Structures are given as C-alpha cells and as structure tokens.
Amino acid sequence: NCGGRRFTSKELISHAYGSLRELLEALLRDQSCLEEHVQAVFAKASHGSHRLERIQLATGLQELVAVFGVRLDVNEGTLAELCKKYSRTEDGGILFPEFMSLCRVVLQDRYVLWFPEILPVSTANFVRQNDRHLEEVYKMGTKLGEGSFGIVYRVEHRLSGEQRVCKKIAKSKSDMTSDQILQEIGHMAMLDHPNVIKVYEYFDDPAFVSQIMEPCNGGELQDKVDEFRKSGKAPYDEAFVCDVVKQTLRALAFMHNKPFLHKDLKPQNIMMVDKASSSIKVIDFGLAEMFNPHQKFAATIGGTLLYMAPEVFRQKMTVKIDVWSTGVILYNLLTGDFPFLAQWPPPKGRDEAWWQEQTIEKIKSEPPTKHSRLGKWSAPCLDLLIQMLQKDDKLRPDATQCLDHPWFRGYSEVAPTLSVGVVQCVEAYARMPELRKGIFLLLAHQYEVQAQALLELRALFTHFDVRNQGSLSATDLKAVLIESGMGPLTAERVYHALDRGKQGQINWTEFTAAAIWFSVCRNDRAIDAAFGTFDTDQDGRITAEDLCLVLADDRGHDAWQRRLPALFDELADSPGPVSRPSRRGLPGFFSRVFMKEAAKGGTLEQFRQYVKQKLDFRAGDVLYAVT
C-alpha cells in the first residue's frame, strides 16, 4: 500500500516504484493508494475546505499530476465542462467523491496519452521475397566479384536511387540448396545490429536466388591482412586493430545472445564499411545456426579449417568457437600470418590431406606459433590473444567477457552525447501515431542514413549498449535521455515508443528510426519507395491490408487490424504537440484507406502528405475534455 503518507516524486521513484509508469499503474490499480493521494491533493487545493471551486479545481488537477514532473494546463472551457459534468452542488462546486472520480478519469486519460498501446513491428518482417523481376526493381551496375556460386553486382534501387549490392546465387552451381540459401537470408533478417550486414529483400526465380544487401565500400578485412603479409608492414596501427576486434566481438555478443553461431568467421567475412574508417560489418551467414540455449552443443560442423576451434573436431561446438575464430583473425592482423599452419606446400611425397591432418593436430594440441611480429604490439593486446586462443573452451572467455578486457579500455572513446537535434527528434517521435512510427521504422531499415549521422548514431548506440547485447535496455536509454536534459516522464515515454518489438529493449533500427525521421521527411524518393513497398500489386494505391502485410507480423496482425481504422482520428484529435489541421484541409489519406465506402485506397500524393506532416517540438501537457 501507500504506507500512510502522501506521495512525493523522489520517494516514490527511489523506493516504492521503479518508474513513473509503475507509479501511474499502481494508482490506477490500487483504490486505497489512489484515494490517499487524491485526499492529500484535495486538502491542499481546497485549503482544508470540503469542496473545490472552479479555480481550485484547476490547481487540484495540476497537483494530481505534479508527482510525474509535468504541468497540466486546463483552459477555462474545459474547466466549465468539467464542473458541469462532475458538480453535485447548485453553484458548481466539486465535492471529494466527485473529485475522486474525476482524478481516476484524468489519470486513465494520461496513461493512454503517455503510454499508448504499441503495435508491434519487426524489422525482420520487412525482409521478404519481391515477386517482381530483379531488373524491374534494380538497375544492374558493375560486377564486384564472381565465384563458383554466382556473381556479386553493384545495383541501384530504381525508386529511391539507393546504391546496394546484389548477391546473385546460381542454384545449379551453389553447394547450398535453395532452402539453405533462404535460411541464410532469414538469419540475416533477424540480426539487426550496426556491425552486421543488412539484407533488404530477395528475388527467387528458377535459376537464381538474388539477395539485396547494403554496400560496404572499403573491401574485405582480408585485403589489409594480405597487404601486411606481402609488404611486411602493417597498413594500420593498434587502435585500428582494437576497434575492428571490438566491433567483431560486439556483433558476436549480439548474435550469441539471440542465440546464433556464425561458424565461419574469417577476414573474408568481415567487410570494411569504407576506406577511411575502421567501421566493419560481419557478412556471410550461410553456416550460421540458431542455437538452443538448453542444447549443450551445436548440431552441425562447418567453417574454414584455419579458423576452426579445437572442439569443432570433437563435434562439441558452443558459441565460443566464434571467439576462437576472432582470436585467429586478431593473430592475422598482428602478424599477417596464421597461428596454426602446417608446412605449405607439403614436403615431397605428402599431399593436401596430409597438410590438413597436420594443421588439425596443431590446432588441437600445439600452442600458437611465436611469430617475430608479435613483439611490436602491446602486452594487453597479446594477453587477450592468448585468452581467445585458449584450447579449453571452458577457460576461453565468451564474447561479452572479451569486451571487458583492459585492452579495450585503453582505447576507449570519449563518451558521446546526444545532440539537441536527436533529443528533439526522439521526443517528437514518441508522440506520433503508431502507423507513422511503423512507416518511419520501414524507412530507417530500407534507406541509407547519411554517413556522418550514421557514425554519430552508431557511436551512441554501441557506447550506451553497456551489456554488449546489441540493444539498449530501459535503464540505459532512460539514463542517457535524462542526462541529455529530458524529463523522467518524457524519457519513459520515449523508451515505451521506441520498443516496437515489445521485447523490453531497443534495437538498432528502432533507435535510428526515432533519431532520423525528421531528415527522412525531406527525402521524397525514399518516401515514394516506401509507398512502393506497401503497393505490392502496383495499382498506385495502398489499402489497410497492404499496410498490415508489411508492418504486422504474426504476433501483431490482429492488433493492427483492430487499430488501423482509428489511427486517423488518433492523429487528428489526440492531445499533445501533434499539429491538428482542420478536417476540411486534411489530405484524406486515412479516410480513403480505411473507410469501407472508399475501398480504393490511398494515393502516393496522399501518402507523402501524411508522412511529411510536421510536429511541433514543444514540451508540456494539455488537458482536453475527458469523459
């Protein structure tokens, strides 16, 4: 219960409740707590009287919500309406029982406003088969590479102008079945992290499966290792090595938390985002495996021999095989060579099978080669290398434990801060209708963020992901927002709004959607391409079913269908800083889409107007008439 005392914000949050939302829920759930709080509010506002006059009612309602750190503005018209509805006296005074009823209604109204029902949206749901022909959607560009499986091209998305990469896999030549190729795409779709390659969509025809992925313009990490091997001089410093290994481990910590094993980590499967920075993306999930946390060992063997952990040959694989592979990559970066390598070419009379047997034996039983180039690197760096190449996987740290190593602290970056622009954007995003949030999540997933903004957001996200799980917890994000000057209630509202997957954590694309929506509004080609994503039948209109198909997964389909018809009224009439143009001047997008008598759907121009509607960047709460 309330402990026989009036609520104070500091006491409630630090002792009784973990959050303002929990406090509000307690008041609505527990009649005695609500009555105790309202009695104290009534006594203060009435100055000890048995009734509230009109001006005192405004004071009482402000005092009611003051514990949440907000000011409630009640205009004269609303006061008059409330007095008329709730007064049981001839002169319009409000007695305690009626004030109690009004307070419950007001708090329920605030709860719906501050913490509206979230319609779940998963970025994995955006990655789907495109039934159109590949070259209808993409302009084919230069060939980037070719292998036994097929060809990789640079392509341009015709609607948005976005540069992407097409991995065109020949079904007849691939050593993977069509189901395995589609499984790889499914794995990639589930991995939403700044250091994991993003897949947008795929095409499946009788001859090819074509994956469409984000471009990485800096080449493979293997290119840098090869340059070191050939020249004898590393084309990078230790800070670069540290950053690459840290990002790789962050990607692994995230994957392993899912839980996923990569099982084929090597420098060829780590791409440099550009030539100027040390930003990386992990690619190639053909061997990745969903790993049951209750399952002791992984089910299938795979990978590249020189990067395989000793336990792979015992067929007892856990997530730590990826840590071993990262240790081999670290050794590559430090020496340009391999830690476990039999004589090559094999001596006379020996063949490749002999070389493989000897290499496996070295991996299983011998220490890493003491390479002369190891001496130029720092002791903390070499200490982590030894730990990652620990043959006993029980003694080998996992990815999260590796990230706690002192080597990374020695190169830790200055703590980034949220810019005023980002703070304003995420606050305004939290106040948007659910459909608009879902559209901006799609835009954040499908379309490229400007390079400089992306670097800032990636630095923020990874720095504040203190648990190294590829997501921001409620505690972490709220602390960052409050430190940036946001009020506690607003910070909770932002967290509530960003958690589109309703998983209790904010993933990478959820974070970027809230941070970049304002700039996306100026990108007409991206908005038009988003319309094209919804308009699957290419008739120039989108309907409620079109929206559901893209935004709603199995968990949220019923909720989306239930809420979609009302979303227009929510946009037009909800209290808060949403600009409310007159109904006569509205674009009519939602009325056309959702009303039975206008089943033709909304046009591209109507969609543009809806997405680009402006929000006011202002704080405060307004109480409109409540029922």
Residue 166: name the closest of 219, 211, 230, 205 by CA. Answer: 211
Decide: 73 and 620 in contact? Cβ < 8 Å: yes
Q: What is the spatial distance between Cα 235 and Cα 127, in angstroms, rounded to a whole number?
A: 37
Decide: 542 and 605 in contact? Cβ < 8 Å: no
CA angle 338–344–347, rounded 5-degree value: 145
Residue 245: name the closest of 193, 287, 282 by CA. Answer: 282
Is 167 marked within a binding site?
Answer: yes
Please provide residue 530's backbone torsions phi and psi, each rounded to the nearest 5 degrees: -65, -40
Q: Coil, strand or helix: which one is 163?
A: strand
Please provide residue 144's backbone torsions phi and psi, each rounded to the nearest 5 degrees: -95, -25
Q: What is the spatial distance between Cα 435 and Cα 567, in angstroms, rounded to a whole number?
A: 7
Q: What is the per-residue DSSP string for 512-572?
A: HHHHHHHHHTT-HHHHHHHHHHH-TT-SSEE-HHHHHHHH--TTTHHHHHHHGGGHHHHHH
Cα torsion through 458, 184, 554, 543, rounded to 10: 80
Enter the tokens of residue 498: 């960003």
Cα torsion through 305, 310, 315, 319, rounded to 10: -90
* 615 DSSP assignment: B
Q: What is the spatial distance between Cα 198 and Cα 462, in angstroms, rounded to a whole number?
A: 17
Residues marked as binding?
Answer: 167
Residues marked as binding for ATP?
Answer: 167
